[in-house]
Amino acid sequence: MIRFENISKKYGQTEVLNIPELEISKNEIIGLVGNNGAGKTTAFSILLDLIKPTSGRVISKNDDVSQSEEWKSYTASFLDDSFLIGFLTPDEYFEFIGTLANMNRKETLEFVNKYEVFFNGEIIGKKKYLRDLSKGNQKKVGLVAALIGHPEVLVLDEPFSNLDPTSQIRLKKIIQEASNDKTILISSHDLNHVLDICTRVILLEKGLIIKDIPNDSAAVEEIQTYFAG
């Protein structure tokens, strides 16, 4: 589904990412973990063609993401609040994203309403601008918007940050349900959430893949031991 081929990213003489080879299969839930500066966001930014690698390429369903636009039709993401449009209300933003996915207003509203429990009655129909929402509610809007149009590939950077414990639990269920027909990549500092839902865990440290293991009881112990030092 997705391949990193000889990916390197340098800023000056400093190499922040070096992935000679990485292959991600269809319908996997990948958990990318690592300390600050490990290269997680850089890897996602290259995957989404937000930054160019110094060398190498990323292939998504046979499309070189830096040379083709095709991958954009089946890929969605939410990395941070820069993906939002602050002067729109959540309803307006959802409708805008729906039009990009060729969904009419009614279809978009029906889809978004499925997540009303996750929104906790604080988002839909409140007529507040996105810029005026709490960080947690902004995160909820961005996460649900990324699901509009049923993308085949979903990329989420730190999806659990700024969410209260109840919302984190609800989000884990949403991600697990979405994985039935999606390849999902998640980066997170919250090791427990990653180990709860991901089928495979990739540990990055200073831009290098240190471990790439299926998520099972042995993996949990191995990853926790690594971070414990």
pLDDT exceeds cutoff 80 at 219? no
Domain count along the chain? 2
Picking from 10, 72, 73, the residue whose alpha carbon sits closest to that of residue 47 is 72
Tell me, yes or no, whether 22 and 134 share the same domain: no
Question: What's the pTM value of the predicted model, to 2 decimals?
Answer: 0.94
Give the strand pairing for 183-187 and 29-33: parallel
pLDDT exceeds cutoff 90 at 215: no
Token pair 């292939």 is found at: 59
| CA atoms of 166 and 139, how far apart (whole Å) | 14
The residue among 222 and 82 whose pLDDT is bigger is 82
The last residue of a domain, from among 100, 117, 150: 150
Q: What is the identity of the amino acid at 151?
A: P
Q: What is the pLDDT of residues 25-34, one digit of tens each?
A: 999 999 999 9
- Per residue in 32-91, pLDDT tens? 999 988 999 999 999 999 999 999 999 999 999 999 999 999 999 999 999 999 999 999
Q: For residues 125 and 91, is the Cβ–Cβ distance under 8 A?
A: yes
Domain that holds residue 144: 86-150
Residues 172-211 have pLDDT tens digits of: 999 999 988 899 999 988 888 998 999 999 999 999 999 9
Kindly report, residue by residue over 92-110, the tens digit of the pLDDT.
999 999 999 999 999 999 9
Report the residue count for the chain.
229
If asked whether residues 182 and 202 sit together in one domain, one would say yes
| pLDDT value, residue 87 | 96
What is the rounded CA–CA span in Å between residue 27 and residue 177?
11
52 and 164 in a single domain? The answer is yes
Q: Are residues 128 and 156 in the same domain?
A: no
Q: How confident is the model at residue 122 (pLDDT cuts 50, 70, 90)?
A: very high
In a domain, 131, yes or no: yes
10 and 32 in a single domain? The answer is: yes
CA 16, 17, 18, 22: dihedral to nearest 10 degrees?
170
- Boundary of a domain, candidates 122, 150, 178: 150
Evaluate whether residue 79 is within a structural domain: no
H helix and E strand count, the chain: 8, 10
- As a whole number, mean pLDDT of residues 121-129 equals 92
Instruction: Give the pLDDT of residue 180.
Output: 87
